[in-house]
Amino acid sequence: MALTRGFDPFAEMLSLRDAMNRLLEQSFVRPSSALLGTTGSRMIPVDVLETEQGYRITALLPGVKPEDIELLAHEHSLTLKAKYRGGEEDEGQQQGSWLLREIGSGTVERTLAFERPVDANKIEARYENGRLTISVPLSEGSRPRRISVRAATPVSAGATP
């Protein structure tokens, strides 16, 4: 009588090397699968330009509607929140099986900290073709001011200072 093993638990397990390869591939080679899921862990790409008057921020938010964007300003920071709706609109209309799904949905958030205080009442934002441009002026107290220097009046020879 020959004994054969019907279930081998070790054959079902991934080797540590295979597990690490999968982890690194998902994180670095194909970061979209890790970053664009429904967890809301996406990063909003921004450019920040500092000028004498304040900051100009450009953020890329493709596919987001202007009403799904929220800006919150504090003394030294600006928080940008956006809601991606991904494939939610056509969720019930699908007639097949997904082979690949990289367009995520959910909320993303990014906070930018500034060295100098900003004037929250004068911030302006414009959204066009997936590009959000924000003008963030500095508060009046933190702007540099030019101070004029006057020449001293000369002292006469006979007068004592």
Q: Go through 56-84 and write b for each residue having 16 or more CB atoms within 10 A of its CB, e for each that does not.
A: ebebebeebeeeebebebeeeebebebbb
Domain that holds residue 79: 38-86+105-141
Segment 119-148 shows an average pLDDT of 88
> Cα-Cα-Cα-Cα dihedral of 151, 155, 160, 161, to 10°?
0
Q: Is residue 20 part of a domain?
A: no
Q: Is residue 94 part of a domain?
A: no
Q: What is the CATH number of the domain that holds 71?
A: 2.60.40.790
H-helix segments, the chain: 9-12, 16-24, 31-35
The pLDDT score that the predictor gives to residue 101 is: 78
Q: Is residue 45 part of a domain?
A: yes
Q: Is residue 28 part of a domain?
A: no
Q: Is residue 157 part of a domain?
A: no
Q: Is residue 12 part of a domain?
A: no
Burial class (CB in 10 A: 0-12, 13-18, 19+), 154: exposed
Residue 78 CA to chain centroid, in angstroms? 11
Q: Is residue 63 part of a domain?
A: yes
Give the pLDDT band (50/70/90) at residue 32: very low
Give the pLDDT band (50/70/90) at residue 155: confident
Q: How do strand 69-73 and strand 106-113 relate by DSSP bridges? A: unpaired
CB 126 within 8 A of CB 58: no
The pLDDT score that the predictor gives to residue 102 is: 77
Residue 161, pLDDT above cutoff 80: no
Residue 158, pLDDT above cutoff 80: no
